[in-house]
Amino acid sequence: MNRDCIPNAEADKYFFHFPDGNASIARLLVRKLIPQAIPGISPTGIVLAKVDYSKLDEPSYWTRIRLNSTVVKVKHVGKPDRAKEVEVTYFADKKLQTVRAANCILACWHVVIPYIAQELPQPQKDALASAQKVPLLYTNVLARNWTAFQKLAASTIYAPGMYHTAVNLDIPVSIGGYECTKTPDDPIVVHMMKAACEPGLPARDQHRMGRIQLYETTFETYERSIRDQLSRMLGPGGFDPARDILEITVNRWPHGYAYEYNSLFDKFWLEGTETPCQIARKPFGRLAIANADADAYAYTDCAIDQAYRAVHELKS
């Protein structure tokens, strides 16, 4: 569940947060598929469990996961409506390699699918190509302590006019042996967030421009804005950036959230006609299509629902 939006009592009922965010969900899935790769069985134990990467691609296991393997082409072996296999070409170890499978689910960003699966019908390719992603800036600042937040009686600050529009203290979760910070004198991660954009343009263009901004901005500019902003926000609480900032990590997500339709810019949205994502996610031969783009909704629950649907569309 997303916490970057305005607090919402209904959403808060379902709120759950792993200390490392969605990475724990990915690791829980891997443990279910390949129990030998990650020790333990409890959901909370996953937080500190170490992955044995040598077990991910083991020939004797039912499931094999191949990391650092970018798929560049997916094609039916024979005519799509009658084929019994799909050939998947991927780039790994500095060369192209292929595997064959009974079925294939394309679960990546929709815009790249027409390049990978060139057999798809043109209307479906057009619908896939119309997807967009929202660029995000997620900055983590390791602070010496959080006494300034305590003095100002604030854990979250919204600042629409500043560089990072939301600033919040790391959510306090002690789980599976991981202990969160307990007293204001302890170090803490301060999370700063920005959805890079260009006000005044249509939403999709704003996201494109935001992506360029993320790419072009230097680390020096990010650092200067972080130090300036935290000083202005927390200075009255005694925060001194030169003394209290221990580390800064700037995570740029050029293709962050899946784009959500908006009646201001997406006319079809209120017309009740088939939406681009419904056209984009149609199965084709032995190919099925997942990803949060497949329902134009940004969050993990959508990605899981779309993966579930795609698996059930596969041919036996």
Ligand X SMILES: Cc1cc2nc3c(=O)[nH]c(=O)nc-3n(C[C@H](O)[C@H](O)[C@H](O)COP(=O)(O)OP(=O)(O)OC[C@H]3O[C@@H](n4cnc5c(N)ncnc54)[C@H](O)[C@@H]3O)c2cc1C
Residues 138 to 177: which contact ligand X by CB under 6 A? 138
**8 Å CB contact between 147 and 237:** yes
What is the spatial distance between Cα 110 and Cα 276, in angstroms, rounded to a whole number?
11
Out of 28, 33, 65, 108, the residue judged to bind ligand X by CB under 6 A? 108
What is the spatial distance between Cα 132 and Cα 122, in angstroms, rounded to a whole number?
18
At its nearest, how many Å lie between ligand X and the CB of residue 243?
29
What is the spatial distance between Cα 181 and Cα 239, in angstroms, rounded to a whole number?
18
Out of 129, 299, 305, 309, the residue judged to bind ligand X by CB under 6 A? 299
Residues 45 to 84: which contact ligand X by CB under 6 A? 70-71
Structure tokens at 168: 């919040």
At its nearest, how many Å lie between ligand X and the CB of residue 302?
6
What is the spatial distance between Cα 206 and Cα 196, in angstroms, rounded to a whole number?
8
At its nearest, how many Å lie between ligand X and the CB of residue 144?
25
Number of residues that bind ligand X (CB under 6 A): 18
Binding mask 119-138 for ligand X (x = CB under 6 A): -----------------x-x
What is the spatial distance between Cα 195 and Cα 166, in angstroms, rounded to a whole number?
10
**Which amino acid would we find at residue 127?**
A
At its nearest, how many Å lie between ligand X and the CB of residue 246?
22
Strands 133-143 and 188-194: antiparallel
Closest CB to ligand X among 148 and 189? 189
Where helices occur in 60-121 by DSSP H, the ranges are 113-116
Closest CB to ligand X among 71 and 142? 71
Out of 44, 150, 231, 300, the residue judged to bind ligand X by CB under 6 A? 300
**Which amino acid would we find at residue 268?**
F
Residues 237 to 296: which contact ligand X by CB under 6 A? 253, 256-257, 291-292
**8 Å CB contact between 178 and 48:** yes
111 binds ligand X (CB under 6 A): no
298 binds ligand X (CB under 6 A): yes
Closest CB to ligand X among 31 and 241? 31
Out of 8, 22, 63, 262, the residue judged to bind ligand X by CB under 6 A? 22
Tracing tokens 């119309």 back to the chain, one arrives at: 130
What is the spatial distance between Cα 251 and Cα 140, in angstroms, rounded to a whole number?
8
> Contact residues for ligand X (CB under 6 A)?
1-2, 22, 70-71, 107-108, 136, 138, 253, 256-257, 291-292, 298-300, 303
